[in-house]
Structure 1
Amino acid sequence: MKDQNPMPNLTHADIWDADAARTYDTPGRGMFADDLLKSTVDRLAELAAGRPALEFAIGTGRVAIPLRERGVPVSGIEISQAMTDRLHEKIDADELPVAIGDMSKTTVSGRFGLVFLVYNGISNVLSQAEQVATFENAARHLEPGGCFVVENWVPDLRSLPPGQEATVFAAEPGYIGLDTIDTMDQIVVSHHFRFAEDSRTAELFRSPHRYVWPSELDLMGQLAGFALESRHADWTGSAFTAESRSHVSVYRLEP
């Protein structure tokens, strides 16, 4: 069987190293925009309903810290020690505990009313079997009736002409982002080029992902004992349509 990791010499722990952790936070813009964070935390706090929450791929605490500030006890699982260290520069480890490991199989003690995996985190799992295992691990941590929330992008393959293997997804002053796409194994490698002011040198950051369709996620949920409760285009509850480029899906653990 073909190795589905297009960067076989690097693990996700290698990719999300100290340099990545140092530059990950972009306060007030991008995924750290105030409006986006508020709507994300509002919805997650509503779903948690006062019960403890567990975040898979907790990263530097972008969502977990403000969710905890809303009164929701939060724990996390994270594969990168460097990202976790950055999180614990902001909040003490006793207040927001994080287990280091693979979210498809690492476990923590206790039961939770909410498990969540945001901002395309499921795509960091590079095989279908391991993505199914991630759903199963979420179910393993949930109390009866708890829910698993997945935020992910919808693959935009309509922009990929036949015979072409790459698309540019961003072109801004000092930055170009492009994806190379393997449609056989549903693998995308995102390439982020950041140019110095003299435009003669550039830094490259690459990350592999397995893109997955909403309907495929639904089947994974069924295999793990979940039923799809709702799907919206964003955290504010906008309708999900054929034109939506992302989705927030809530899966409820069946009794």
Structure 2
Amino acid sequence: MHENDGYFGESIAATYDESYASIFDSVAVGPTVDLLAELAGDGPALEFGIGTGRVALPLAARGVTVHGIDLSRAMVDRLSAKPGGDTIDITVGDFATTRVAGDFTLAYLVFNTINNLTTQDAQVDCFRNAAAHLRPGGRFVVEVGVPDLRLLPPGQSAVPFHISATRWAFDTYDVATQAMSSNYVTVGEGGQAKHTSIPFRYVWPAELDLMAQLAGLRLSDRWEGWSREPFTNESRQHVSVWEKPSI
């Protein structure tokens, strides 16, 4: 395991694609790639948190030049080993602050990965970093869930999202700090249980808009999902697009 892989080292990378097989399916990822390809146009795209290439590989197959930033060498090693992986330039580093050469028509950050930045300062830095990489008229896209605080009755801080005979998963929330964590308990042979916890910071849509404003970006669109469903007060997630003003 590489020392700087954070929470997505070899033990996670080894089974990541299988654990999230449902969202790697071409039908599931198709609307994501369709919209990102449209927004990228004729220019290159930059993915923050590129991981094992779930989005980057099919986007590159559509003819979009993709560059990726990711902290985990274990994850990107798997991307590079896949068919087409050698066509994607990858920089290992913190996507909140790492700069790469060139400018882009599109930067994007999907699947709740903005929450992997566990402080507000880091999330603000991420928006500034995206803006610094964008050409005038370029766009920054974030896919992230709406915090599930409506599911918390008074005195409760945990929300389960998976329960089976051998695996329990739940999120915990600290409403004072916006800290949260995803927790997984897996029961193996002999009844031995393994607990894994990954920290996050949840963030509200309006808070993201303010971060974008601080970075010189302006909101252009917000949908519930990649097929441009309307975003409503019942939406559990959103896909938001901010634009860098043209000079």
TM-score grouping bracket, smaller chain normalisation: over 0.9
Partner in structure 1 of residue 225 of structure 2: 234
Runs of 5+ unmatched residues, structure 2: none
Contact residue 76 and residue 98 of structure 1 kept, 8 A: yes
1:202 corresponds to which letter in structure 2?
A
Contact residue 110 and residue 144 of structure 2 kept, 8 A: yes
Q: In the TM superposition, what is the alpha-carbon distance from 1:204 to its structure 2 partner?
A: 2.7
Contact residue 27 and residue 33 of structure 1 kept, 8 A: no
Partner in structure 2 of residue 69 of structure 1: 61
1:15 is paired with a residue whose SS is: coil
Residues in 2 aligned to 1:66 and 1:75: alpha-carbon distance in whole angstroms: 13
Q: In the TM superposition, what is the alpha-carbon distance from 1:220 to its structure 2 partner?
A: 0.5
Per-residue CA distance 1:63-83 (angstroms, 9 max, x = gap): 000100000000000011111
Runs of 5+ unmatched residues, structure 1: 1-10
1:152 aligns with 2:139: no
Choose from 97, 100, 110 the match for 1:105.
Answer: 97
1:49 aligns with 2:41: yes
Contact residue 191 and residue 204 of structure 1 kept, 8 A: yes
Partner in structure 1 of residue 209 of structure 2: 218
Partner in structure 2 of residue 14 of structure 1: 6
2:234 corresponds to which letter in structure 1?
E
Q: In the TM superposition, what is the alpha-carbon distance from 1:14 to its structure 2 partner?
A: 3.0
Q: TM-score, normalised by structure 1?
A: 0.91
Aligned residue-pair number = 244
Partner in structure 2 of residue 89 of structure 1: 81
Choose from 127, 137, 144 the match for 2:129.
Answer: 137
1:243 corresponds to which letter in structure 2?
E
Residues in 1 aligned to 2:116 and 2:74: alpha-carbon distance in whole angstroms: 17
Cα RMSD (Å) of the superposition?
Answer: 1.7
Choose from 111, 115, 119 the match for 1:119.
Answer: 111
Q: 1:162 to 1:250 in 2, by over 3 A?
A: same
1:25 is paired with a residue whose SS is: helix
Percent identity for Structure 1 against Structure 2:
47
Q: 1:125 to 1:27 in 2, by over 3 A?
A: closer
1:149 corresponds to which letter in structure 2?
V
Q: In the TM superposition, what is the alpha-carbon distance from 1:154 to its structure 2 partner?
A: 0.2
Partner in structure 2 of residue 4 of structure 1: none
Per-residue CA distance 1:93-128 (angstroms, 9 max, x = gap): 651111111111101001100000000010000111
Q: TM-score, normalised by structure 2?
A: 0.93
1:216 is paired with a residue whose SS is: helix
